[in-house]
Amino acid sequence: MGNRKRMAVVFSLTFMVFFAFTVQVQAETYKLGLSLAITGPTSDAGDPYSKGVEDYFHYVNDMKILGNDKIECTIRDDQYKTDVTKRNFEDFLDQDIVFYLNYSTGSTLALKKDFDEEKMPTIPASFHAGNLEGSSYIFLPIASYSAQAIGLAEYIVKHHEGGTPKVAMYIHPSAFGRGPVSDVEKAVAAGLDMEIVEVVEHGKDLDNTATLQRLKSKGVQYVISQTIQSPVATLLKDASRLDLVATAFGEKGKITFTGCHYTGGNDLVSLAGPAAENFYWTTSYIVTSEPGVGTDAQIALAEKYGRDDKAANSHNYANGVMVAQVAAECILRAKAKGVKITKENLYAELLAMNGMNAFYPVTTVGPVTYSKTDRAGVDTLQLYAVKDGVFHSVGAPFIPEYTGKIQ
């Protein structure tokens, strides 16, 4: 089956029923905005993310998923600078956008009140649980960093042999990194049998020798990372040089390294090389190293719009595709009801995306569900591990138990 036909089958089956009932009097253009770090810090995630958003909206328009109506999403590079993000958002408002896609934790927190005041449905690339506090208009694409870190902690506890496992957290020196720490601590206080020996906020050091030797001296057997790929790659290479990387999960005298969404993926393998072997990682997205409908769809979409292999196989490309899918799905559902496409009506569609109305994109390992009391999209996580230089799934998709216990 050719790429065009394969993509049409994968992404359009759920839409076809609406075509028969769509009568186009005059084509409409629905404006959206995306501000993110295509360059600068975290661009290794932001660049493929932006391509995923761009390609899926092109696909929606090219395949006429909305009939003759089109989506116009303006994408701006903010270089991870909150003041630039704010200016971009204000400019998008002047363009009368009906849906907004944001990026960083810092800018999401800084603009939280703006989103509420403008009543603008917003999906950021940040999965920080704190984004949702005191806000009604921010929706996380997938389970929060806190849920991901707790999921890793639960796996460690369930599969560790010999008493209470000693764990260190290796985090980004920002709200993005610090966010999950207190929630993991709450899970431990609620009964998760794990000792958090140390929380390490990494800097820009190119050598982690002293840190790793200190953790080893304290008996640390596992590290949970909440940062981005490059510092994790450096940590893994240093640990490999010191012969500290476990060759099997929980190997005595060694350290098993784990991480949340932005620490892993194919880019980590490229950066860390053989040192990435046996790195355990969790996310709600599919990975293209595993065969399936989602992998076929992602690769075909990237090929259709001329992306290179690096972008095509990035979990952050899938991340961008997914948020675009959700926005397009809201527009599609509103059109099916015959209501005007406004930010208010798209917000209502997000809140109704649950139960029988859950959304099932092929980019994730579980359904997207939202409501007034649940604004984290995909609750399901998948654990992956690097084996022979490739990420493979470990066990079945799951929902962490302790996320519910600490709420």
| CATH at 66 | 3.40.50.2300
Do 363 and 321 fall within a single domain?
yes
Tokens of 61: 């328009």
Do 301 and 243 fall within a single domain?
no
Do 15 and 82 fall within a single domain?
yes
Per-residue pLDDT, 2: 53
Do 276 and 161 fall within a single domain?
yes
Q: Specify the number of domains making up the chain.
A: 2
Q: Residues 179, 146: contact at Cβ < 8 Å?
A: yes
Quick check: pTM over 0.75?
A: yes
Q: Residues 281, 236: contact at Cβ < 8 Å?
A: no
pLDDT in tens, 244-263: 999 999 999 999 999 999 99
Rounded Cα distance between 323 and 122, Å, is 10
Q: Residues 283, 384: contact at Cβ < 8 Å?
A: yes
Do 107 and 156 fall within a single domain?
no
Do 230 and 200 fall within a single domain?
yes
Do 232 and 349 fall within a single domain?
no
**Residue 339: which domain range?**
3-143+290-374
Do 53 and 67 fall within a single domain?
yes
How far apart are the two ends of the chain, measured CA to CA in Å?
A: 47
Do 172 and 279 fall within a single domain?
yes
Do 78 and 218 fall within a single domain?
no
Rounded Cα distance between 144 and 318, Å, is 17
One digit per residue, pLDDT tens: the chain, 407 residues? Answer: 455 455 444 454 444 444 444 444 689 999 999 999 999 988 999 999 999 999 999 999 999 999 999 999 999 999 999 999 999 999 999 999 999 999 999 999 999 999 999 999 999 999 999 999 999 999 999 999 999 999 999 999 999 998 999 999 999 999 999 999 999 999 999 999 999 999 999 987 678 999 999 999 999 999 999 999 999 999 999 999 999 999 999 999 999 999 999 999 998 999 999 999 999 999 999 999 999 999 999 999 999 999 999 999 999 999 999 999 999 999 999 999 999 999 999 999 999 999 999 999 999 999 999 999 999 999 999 999 999 999 999 999 999 999 988 87
C-beta atoms surrounding 389 within 10 Å: 13
Do 8 and 136 fall within a single domain?
yes
Closest CA to 229 of 250, 257, 255: 257
Do 251 and 267 fall within a single domain?
yes
